[in-house]
Amino acid sequence: MISNTLRIDNSSHCTTPSDRNGPQLVPVKVGCLHINLATERGRKIFLLQMLVLCFVPHAALVFQNCTVMAQLSHTMDASLFLDRKVAAIMSHCEAVLAIQDERVAVTQYLVQGTNVQRSKQNSKRTDGLSRASIYDQINSVLLLYIMRGVKTTSSNLWRQLTASYEILKAMEEISLAFLYPLVLEELESKNFFLQLHLKLTLDYLESTKQYLELEGLDWRPVEDILLSYKSREGLKFNEEDSDRFFMEETVSHLAKLKIVQGELWNYVRKSVTSEVWSARRTLCFGITILIIVLLVSPLLIFLLRYTINTIQKFTESIEISTQKLVAEKQKSDLLLSRMLPLPVLRRLRAQRAVPAEAFDAVTIYFSDIVGFTNISANSTPMEVINMLNMLYKMFDDKIMQYNVYKVETIGDAYMVVSGLPQRNGNKHASEIADMSLSLMRSLEGARVPHRPEEFLRIRAGVNTGSCVAGVVGTTMPRYCLFGDAINTASRMESTGEAMKIHISPTTKEALDAIGNYVVQSRGLVDIQGKGVMETYWLLGKKDEKIESPRCVRLQDYDQNVLELLIRS
């Protein structure tokens, strides 16, 4: 069922959707295209655009998943390469340890040989030194290869591998510190090599300790060895017993470091295995997501087609509701703009408070119809309303030319103010004066519409002073003025004469400050609530072109009041 809704055209005639020719759907702008869903072509274009709109991100998702799959495959290859690389590094580490053990065994044999055969001591030491240099060369090559492998590792295992390398270097230096002093003859050379290799051992052990602490591994055995060597800093060979004790202690430290190295290798193996399995699981998960994305495509087409059909069914009802909303908003905006000033209305729309505001200098204008009570008594209600509508419409058109604000109309009373809600400096008095003179000239010779034999005359009062203005009320909010200046302006109007502008002394002073206005003293007048004061008549303005009266007889005005309100 289609309901009718009001639409405001560029005339006073009100139409509904059923009265209009052609499609009733609002064209939708998509990029450079305007699509009207009321036509078959528009629906096809809209369907195509929706398909493109949905499948562009879907294609991007497929491309992204393919890219992720390539990255996961690369990660899987990298993890497998890391597994092989770590296995190679560990095999080289085992080779270094085996060579170190063999070198220690050879050294012990040579030392025992020197104790038994003192006569061949020099030849034994020379032979031991030459044999040890061979092992040194082999280990140097292996350690260099291990170091390169560790440095080229981009995995998170680089700390563990570095710690393993540092332990190997420390064990190598301990082994050399154990070996060279025993195969060298001179005491000074023995002590030099001892201190050199022990210093390097301490450096490598410190690095190993730091890496183990970062990984949360057991570093206490390394700490014990460090404390042992630090407590013997400056150790020198001078006695045979000290040589034997150092050799036994070195063998013990090497055994402890082998245990630490074994634990570290186990940790590395577990980490590599976990990384490989994690890469495999991630790869399987990525493959699953890609398959799901590819399978969802047909379902997406079906759901999209169903959604578009549903949207098209409700488009017309949405369009009618939108027209209703626009029409009601136009009416409410127009009515609000008639009730409240535009700055105040903007603040209310922004849901901001509108506090009362004091104005130091404003000029207020009051006017009413002379003999309105007698005219109303001899006229029908519609004739009175028609007359007021014609008069106030003419006034409203006139005051649009000046910087004034129409406050309200109560019966035949017409109230206008200048200087608020937007301050205009000292122009408020001149604006009201010019407006008053213009209104008076417009009514010269005017007659009552339904009583042509009777003239339509008004009297006006003007006063300048301070006042307070603000929004009053919640059900029907009004912008109201308060202050003694308003009361004085009302008294100026009530004590005035027909077709004359009665002004107060404050207004006269403001006009004198501006100049070019013709003012005549009325004399002393007893003003209710103010006492006796001298008031004035505003007669005109110097060097001003006199306009001819706007009309001799006001035109008939019998249009509907609702249409008057909703017209823009």
Q: What percent of the chain has pLDDT over 70?
A: 69
Give the residue among 359, 332, 486, 375 at the shortest CA–CA distance from 423.
359
Reported as a single tens digit per residue, the pLDDT across 29-42 is 555 566 666 666 77
Q: What is the pLDDT of residues 251-269, one digit of tens each?
A: 777 777 777 777 777 777 7
**Beta-carbon contacts of residue 79 (< 8 Å; ≥ 6 apart):** 155, 272, 275, 276, 278, 279
**400-429 residue pLDDT tens:** 888 888 888 888 889 999 988 888 888 888
Q: What is the pLDDT of residues 424-467, one digit of tens each?
A: 888 888 899 999 998 888 888 888 888 888 888 889 999 999 88
Of 537, 545, 478, 516, the residue nearest 335 (C-alpha): 478
Which amino acid belongs to residue 77? Answer: D
pLDDT digits (tens, 9 = 90+) for 333-361: 777 777 777 777 777 777 676 777 888 88
Query: Alpha-carbon distance 262 to 163, whole Å?
Result: 12
The residues pairing with 501 across neighbouring beta strands, listed in sequence order, are 460, 538
Query: Is the distance from CB of 465 to CB of 488 less than 8 angstroms?
Result: yes
Those residues whose C-beta lies under 8 Å from the C-beta of residue 223, and which sit 6 or more positions away, are 209
- Give the separation between CA 16 and CA 215, rounded to whole angstroms: 79
User: Does position 288 have pLDDT exceeding 90, yes or no?
Assistant: no
Res 24 pLDDT > 60: no
The pair of three-digit structure tokens given for residue 455, joined into one six-digit string:
């003239």
Domains of the chain (ranges, CATH numbers): 104-276 (no CATH), 355-566 (3.30.70.1230)
Q: For residue 385, give both structure tokens.
A: 């309303």
Burial 378-399 (b: 16+ CB within 10 A, else e): ebeeebbebbbbbbeebbeebb
Q: Does residue 509 have a pLDDT over 80? A: yes
Please give the DSSP secondary-structure letter assigned to residue 18.
Answer: G
- pLDDT surpassing 90 at residue 365: yes
CA-wise closest residue to 436 among 379, 507, 374 = 507
- Chain centre to alpha carbon of residue 85: 49
* Sequence letter at residue 242: S
Compute how many other C-beta atoms are within 10 angstroms of the C-beta atom of residue 34. 11
- The most distant pair of C-alpha atoms in the chain lies apart, rounded to whole Å, by 162
Q: What is the DSSP string of 225-271?
A: HHHHHHHTTT----SHHHHHHHHHHHHHHHHHHHHHHHHHHHHHHHH
Helix (H, G, I), strand (E, B) or coil at 5: coil
Is residue 366 very low, low, confident or very high in pLDDT (cuts 50, 70, 90)? Answer: very high
Asked whether residue 199 carries a pLDDT value surpassing 50, the answer given is yes
Task: Return the pLDDT at 562.
Answer: 40
pLDDT at 134: 74
pLDDT at 240: 52
Chain segment 164-182, per-residue pLDDT in tens: 777 777 777 777 766 666 6
Helix (H, G, I), strand (E, B) or coil at 272: helix
Decide if 22 contacts 31 (C-beta within 8 A): no
What's the whole-number average pLDDT of the chain? 74
